[in-house]
């Protein structure tokens, strides 16, 4: 059975890179009718951030990456938090010690730094020379028993090569002299990534390891560990890292990396998920808008490209807009809008009203937050006038006064009545339509970028429109006074 996993560290906010890898892991598991699991890699006590795990799990669910096993849902191979599996790692480290495939090393951090510097000077690209291998076994055990702080390191072959087969890249050769005697168990008794990931992936029966390219060069260490234990290694897939505009790895400094940022900015989970999927994967027919199910159906590793994709928020915006105006239905859009209006302290008289506004605004906003910004005047009488709108108010002051009378005479502001009325007025006065529309638009919205006039008049209703014109007229007079 194909079993994939995502293994985030609870060291901060949920990262888009985690979601990116998560999507591919999820899709591959689903494609094969397998399982997708989440494991929390919290073996670094120093970097642990309170609440980070919850944030990450919430973000994964928000994106629709539901997992079959995980810290909060359990599963047959738990616990799914590495900090709760320490005994396991100690056991397996001991096994390697017993087999003579690992050894205890007693260098202090300062000594290690000195060794590293020395090696660097010689032009060697790694940090430890394996000197503690020379300590006789009995002596090492005695020192350990006496409580001397130490780590356990993997005994790595000194000659030959280790060949890693990456499904996406083929065979990759590593000279064994380049593979360091990696620390497996730290002096605090916690495992390092290498030990923990191998033990857990084996015990949890992970068959396919899909992860970021930054893990590629540490794969030989893990492969050697599988060999030391006598276990079958999983299939390896290293996906390219998401890049920031300019080319560097996406980071806090170079762009928005928190999934929470995108949620709060009003991106739809489906749009983000869809966009992330296009970072490397493409549909056979070239479609860029597709559901998770469609991706699963069409997925194949030879449709995954290996160049590091630049994360372009501009295109994400476009895609989000596409979802708002074409993928979701109107009711869904209205529902999504509600929390954003509430957060802005705005209220709506009814769902029907909200939906009418949403319909009118639909082609005019790309994020939910943008809707609140641009449609504010539909939800409050206390909307501001932009400078450009004030100019229109002044220019069209007389027209506005007359327009108010024209509209006041109509029984209601249905398009069948407002259109002939406004067009008729313009013709009678021999005015271009826009000369009439712009002051009106400025008056009832405070801005010049709005939905169609007839649509707006109907939504707002006669009473509010007349009151708004009145208020705008007063506002314009005040402007004249100041000028």
Partner RNA sequence: GGCCCCUUCGACUAGCGGUUAGGUCACCGCCCUUUCAAGGCGGCGGCACGGGUUCGAGUCCCGUAGGGGUCACCA
Residues numbered 230 to 269 that lie near RNA (CB under 7 A) are 240-241, 243, 245, 247-249
**Among residues 61, 99, 252, 388, which one is catalytic?**
252
Candidates 345-353, 400-408, 436-444, 472-480; binding stretch for RNA (CB under 7 A): 436-444
- In 3-state terms, what secondary structure has residue 15? strand
Count residues near RNA (CB under 7 A): 86
24 near RNA, judged by CB under 7 A: no
Window 309-338: contact mask with RNA (x via CB under 7 A): xx-x-xx--x--xx--x-------------
Distance from C-alpha of 41 to C-alpha of 24, rounded to nearest angstrom? 19
Q: Is there binding between residue 4 and RNA (CB under 7 A)?
A: no
Tell me which residue of 394, 405, 399, 454 sits closest to 430, measured CA to CA: 399
Inter-CA distances, 375 with 435, 447, 451, Å: 23, 10, 10
| Interface with RNA, residue 176, by CB under 7 A | no
Comparing CB distances to RNA, the nearer of 101 and 310 is: 310
* 190 is an interface residue for RNA by CB under 7 A: yes
Of 36-44, 62-70, 133-141, 227-235: span binding RNA (CB under 7 A): 36-44
CA dihedral angle for residue 248, residue 7, residue 156, residue 88, rounded to 10 degrees:
160
Segment 341-400, which members bind RNA (CB under 7 A)? 363-364
Q: Where in 38-67 is the site for RNA (CB under 7 A)?
A: 41, 43-44, 46-47
Q: Shortest distance, CB of residue 466 to RNA, whole angstroms? A: 18
338 is catalytic: no
**Burial readout 236-266 (b: 16 or more C-beta within 10 A, e: otherwise):** bbbbbbbbbeeeeebeeeebbbbbeebbebb
To RNA, the closest distance from the beta carbon of 99 in angstroms equals 21
The span from the CA of 256 to the CA of 249, in Å, is: 12
In the complex, minimum distance from the CB of residue 313 to RNA, in angstroms, rounded to a whole number: 9
Q: Does 147 bind RNA (CB under 7 A)?
A: no
Query: CA of 304: how far to CAs of 238, 268, 278, 387, in Å?
Result: 11, 24, 9, 50
Can you tell me which of 158, 449, 477, 480 binds RNA, judged by CB under 7 A? 449
Min dist CB 43 to RNA, Å, is 4
The binder of RNA chosen from 68, 107, 129, 332 (CB under 7 A): 107
Closest CA to 279 of 316, 246, 254, 229: 316
Cβ contact 11:41 at 8 Å = no
The Cα-based distances of 237 to 7, 170, 302, 304, 306 in angstroms read 14, 10, 12, 11, 11
Instruction: Report, in Å, the least distance between residue 482 CB and RNA.
Output: 25
Q: Which residues are catalytic?
A: 252
């Amino acid at each position: 059975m194909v079993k994939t996993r995502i293994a985030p560290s609870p060291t901060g906010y949920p990262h888009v890179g985690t979601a990116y890898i998560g999507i591919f892991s999820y899709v591959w598991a689903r494609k094969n009718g397998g399982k997708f699991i989440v494991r929390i890699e919290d073996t670094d006590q120093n970097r642990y951030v309170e609440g980070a795990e919850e944030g990450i799990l919430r973000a994964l669910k928000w994106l629709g990456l539901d997992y079959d096993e995980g810290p909060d849902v359990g599963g047959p191979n738990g616990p799914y938090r590495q900090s709760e599996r320490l005994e396991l790692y100690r056991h397996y480290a001991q096994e390697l010690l017993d087999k003579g495939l690992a050894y205890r090393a007693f260098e202090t951090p300062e000594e290690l730094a000195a060794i590293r510097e020395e090696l660097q000077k010689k032009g060697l690209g790694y940090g430890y020379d394996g000197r503690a291998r020379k300590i006789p076994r009995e002596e090492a055990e005695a020192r350990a028993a006496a409580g001397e702080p130490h780590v356990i390191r993997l005994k790595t072959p000194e000659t030959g090569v280790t060949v890693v087969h990456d499904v996406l890249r083929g065979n990759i050769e590593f000279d064994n002299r380049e593979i360091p005697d990696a620390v497996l168990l730290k002096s605090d008794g916690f495992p390092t990534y290498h030990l923990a990931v191998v033990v857990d992936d084996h015990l949890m029966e992970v068959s396919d390891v899909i992860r970021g390219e930054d893990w590629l060069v540490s794969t030989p260490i893990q492969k050697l560990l599988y060999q030391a234990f006598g276990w079958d290694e999983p299939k390896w897939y290293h996906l390219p890292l998401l890049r920031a505009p300019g080319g560097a790895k996406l980071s806090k400094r170079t762009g928005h990396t928190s999934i929470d940022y995108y949620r709060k900015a009003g991106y739809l989970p489906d749009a983000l998920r869809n966009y992330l999927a296009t970072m490397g994967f493409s549909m056979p027919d070239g479609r860029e808008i597709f559901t998770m199910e469609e991706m699963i159906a069409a997925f194949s590793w030879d449709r995954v490209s290996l160049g590091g994709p630049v994360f372009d928020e501009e295109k994400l915006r476009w895609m989000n807009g596409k979802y708002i105006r074409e993928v979701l239905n109107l009711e869904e859009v209205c529902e999504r809008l509600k929390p954003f209006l509430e957060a802005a302290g705005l209220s709506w008289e009814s769902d029907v009203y909200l939906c009418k506004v949403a319909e009118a605004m639909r082609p005019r906003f790309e994020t939910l937050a943008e809707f609140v910004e641009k449609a504010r005047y539909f939800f409050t009488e206390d909307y501001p006038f932009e400078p450009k709108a004030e100019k229109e108010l002044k220019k069209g002051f007389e027209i506005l006064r007359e327009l108010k009378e024209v509209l006041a005479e109509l029984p209601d502001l249905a398009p069948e009545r407002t259109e002939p009325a406004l067009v008729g007025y313009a013709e009678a006065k021999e005015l271009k339509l826009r000369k009439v529309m712009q002051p009106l638009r400025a008056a009832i919205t405070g801005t010049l970028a709005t939905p169609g006039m007839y649509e707006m008049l109907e939504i707002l209703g006669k009473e509010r429109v007349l009151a708004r014109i009145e208020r705008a007229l007063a506002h314009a007079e005040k402007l004249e006074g100041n000028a």
